Amino acid sequence: MDCPVCKNAMITLELEEVEIDYCTECNGIWLDAGELELLLGEPEKAKHLLNSFKIDSKCAEKPRKCPICDKKMQKTIVGSSKPTLLIDKCRRGDGLWFDRGELHDIINRAELDKDNKIQRLLTDMFSYDLNK
């Protein structure tokens, strides 16, 4: 699968038995449909988070193409907290694209338990370039 941003081939990483596609160039992450829920691990919170998604039809950012179906993805606002977190979502529902740090951000916003494994793993994985 190629990165929708820089077109490099992404590598597959395994996080707690969930396979994620990761771009080593831009540090973006692709999650297939359903994988975010698996990563969050807490069904109620995952549902709450997914229900907070809002399509931003007026977004000026250039749309990206889904690495699976090659159609333009929709800019999607997560929740209502500031600063606005905007991710890319395939219209067909193939999955979600997270720019660098956004997956970590969304998991923080899901208000998971403090010792949530995925949150810790992501912090370990990306701590070198987060919080810049």
Phi, psi of 48 (to 5 degrees): -60, -45
Nearer to Zn ion, 69 or 121 (CB): 69
Stretch near Zn ion under the rule CB under 5 A, chosen from 12-20, 44-52, 64-72, 108-116: 64-72
Q: What letter represents residue 42's amino acid?
A: E
CA–CA distance, 88 with 65 (Å, rounded to integer): 9
Q: Is 31 in the site for Zn ion (CB under 5 A)?
A: no
Is the distance from CB of 23 to CB of 5 less than 8 angstroms? yes
According to CB under 5 A, which one of 33, 69, 77, 121 is a site residue for Zn ion?
A: 69
Quote the least distance from Cβ 9 to Zn ion, whole Å.
Answer: 10
Measured CA to CA, the distance from residue 30 to residue 10 in angstroms comes to 9
Q: Any contact of residue 5 with Zn ion (CB under 5 A)? A: yes
Q: Find the shortest distance in angstroms from Cβ 11 to Zn ion.
A: 11
Beta bridge partners of 85: 78
Of 125, 35, 126, nearest to 89 by C-alpha is: 35
19 binds Zn ion (CB under 5 A): no
Is the separation of the CB atoms in 36 and 98 below 8 Å?
Answer: no
Site string for Zn ion, 85-114 (x = CB under 5 A): -----x-x-x--------------------
Interaction of residue 66 with Zn ion, rule CB under 5 A:
yes
Which stretches of the chain bind Zn ion, using CB under 5 A? 3, 5-6, 23, 25-26, 28, 66, 68-69, 90, 92, 94
